[in-house]
């Protein structure tokens, strides 16, 4: 009598094969002399500060072969020759691992996301205008500016800075945690800004979109709200409020 195995069991016993083109591999780029990074394609970037420069892409060989990396001025430009990731053509996104001695700024206009391991910088700025996300694991700086005009999200953890400006004009969101002497929030999009996990001595909020702003302050808090926005400020703020339209403000 023949024994008939269930189809699911038969499939589980079959060897799993991966085509050489889809196997994970690495490609290094001999580049140096940059302190800014521009991510223009669909690949993701993970950035670490260290003593020596390093640019290394990890992913399927078919994806790595179309990645282009070059330094213009002091900016590392990362893109693709075909400018897109295409799962149908089996060219998925790759991860580009970057080590840089000093980092002053990043930007992304594509679909790729950027993750920054904890670092220090005298001044730092980020401009995210695509669909990718920005994640900062930790930052010590005197002055920081974050601009989010696309559909991605920004998550800022453990930041310590004298001045922080957050500008949101897209549909994404910004969340921040840490300690800031002076925080300026400019929200004109449909997304939300939440810095309730961030201690702030001086706060200014200019909100004119349809999204919301949540923050806290233990000192002067100047709120200018218009449109249909919602602003909530907790802590022990000394509030100055100017609102118009259907804006709603709760301060203190």
Query: Considering the domain boundaries, does residue 58 fall inside one?
Result: yes
What CATH code is carried by the domain that includes residue 220?
2.160.20.120
Compute the average pLDDT of residues 82-87.
66
Question: Encoding tokens for residue 241?
Answer: 């409020």
For residue 18, give every residue at least 6 positions away whose Cβ sits within 8 Å of its Cβ, in sequence order, or none: none
Note whether residue 2 is domain-resident. no
Domain count, the chain: 2
Instruction: Note whether 100 and 142 are same-domain residues.
Output: no
Least confident window among 14-23, 86-95, 125-134, 231-240: 14-23
Q: What is the pLDDT of residues 186-244, one digit of tens each?
A: 999 899 999 999 999 999 999 998 999 999 999 999 999 999 999 999 999 999 999 99
Do residues 139 and 156 touch, judged by C-beta distance below 8 A? yes
Same domain as 169, residue 61 = no
Please report which helix (H) or strand (E) contains residue 229, including its range: none
> Does residue 17 belong to any structural domain of this protein?
no
The pLDDT of residue 229 is 96
Helix, strand, or coil here: 252?
coil
Q: Are 148 and 235 part of one and the same domain?
A: yes
DSSP string, 70-134: EEETTEEEEEESS-S-BTTTTB---EEEEEES---EEEE-SS--EEE-SEE-SEEEEEE-SS--E
How confident is the model at residue 153, as a pLDDT?
A: 97
pLDDT at res. 84: 67
The pTM of the full predicted model, rounded to 2 decimals, is 0.89
Domain for residue 144, yes or no? yes
Retrieve residue 127's tokens. 């401009």
Question: Does residue 183 share a domain with residue 128?
Answer: yes
Domain stops at, among 82, 111, 140: 111
Domain that holds residue 229: 118-252
Are residue 139 and residue 237 in the same domain, yes or no? yes
Decide if 177 is inside a domain. yes
Residues 129 and 84 in one domain: no
Instruction: Decide if 7 is inside a domain.
Output: no
Strands 119-120 and 54-60: unpaired
Considering the domain architecture, whether residues 53 and 73 belong to the same structural domain is answered as yes
Q: Which of 111, 129, 158 represents a domain boundary (last residue)?
A: 111
Instruction: State whether 124 and 215 are in the same domain.
Output: yes
Q: What is the pLDDT of residues 25-42, one digit of tens each?
A: 999 999 999 999 999 989
The answer on pLDDT for 13 being more than 70 is no
Residue 66 has pLDDT above 80, yes or no: yes
pLDDT at 8: 42
The last residue of a domain, from among 74, 91, 111: 111
The predicted model gives 2-23 an average pLDDT of 46
Question: Quick one: 123 and 107 in the same domain?
Answer: no
Query: What is the reported pLDDT for 7?
Result: 43
Q: What is the pLDDT of residue 236?
A: 97
Nearest to 71 by CA among 111, 42, 98: 98
Give the chain's mean pLDDT. Answer: 91
Asked if the structure places residue 106 within a domain, the reply is yes
Is 17's pLDDT higher than 60?
Answer: no
**pLDDT score recorded for residue 89:** 57
* CA separation for the pair 63, 95 (Å, rounded): 10
Q: Are residues 88 and 213 in the same domain?
A: no
Q: In the prediction, which pLDDT does 23 show?
A: 75
Whether residue 20 lies inside any domain: the answer is no
CA distance 103 to 49: 7
The yes-or-no verdict on residue 1 having pLDDT over 60 is: no
Residue 10's pLDDT is what? 36
Is residue 18's pLDDT more than 60? no
Please name the residue that has the structure tokens 């979109």.
209
């Amino acid at each position: 009598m023949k024994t008939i195995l269930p189809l699911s069991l038969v499939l589980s016993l079959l060897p799993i094969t991966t085509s050489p083109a889809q196997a994970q591999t690495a490609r290094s780029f001999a580049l140096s002399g940059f302190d800014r990074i521009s991510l223009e394609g669909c690949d993701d970037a993970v950035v670490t500060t260290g003593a020596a420069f390093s640019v290394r892409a990890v992913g399927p060989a078919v994806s790595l072969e179309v990645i282009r990396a070059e330094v213009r001025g002091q900016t590392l430009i990362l893109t693709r020759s075909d400018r897109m990731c295409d799962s149908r053509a089996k060219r998925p996104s790759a991860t580009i691992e970057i080590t840089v001695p000093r980092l002053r700024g990043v930007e992304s206009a594509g679909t790729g996301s950027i993750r920054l391991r904890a670092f220090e910088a005298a001044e730092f700025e980020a401009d995210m205008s695509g669909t990718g996300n920005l994640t900062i694991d930790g930052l010590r700086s005197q002055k920081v500016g974050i601009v989010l005009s696309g559909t991605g999200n920004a998550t800022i953890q453990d930041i310590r800075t004298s001045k922080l400006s957050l500008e949101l004009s897209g549909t994404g969101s910004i969340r921040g945690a840490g300690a800031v002497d002076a925080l300026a929030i400019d929200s004109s999009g449909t997304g939300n800004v939440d810095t309730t996990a961030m201690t702030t001595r001086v706060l200014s909020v200019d909100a004119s979109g349809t999204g919301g702003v949540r923050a806290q302050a233990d000192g002067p808090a100047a709120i200018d709200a218009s449109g249909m926005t919602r602003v909530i400020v907790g802590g022990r703020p000394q509030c100055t409020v100017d609102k118009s339209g259907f804006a709603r403000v709760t301060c203190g």
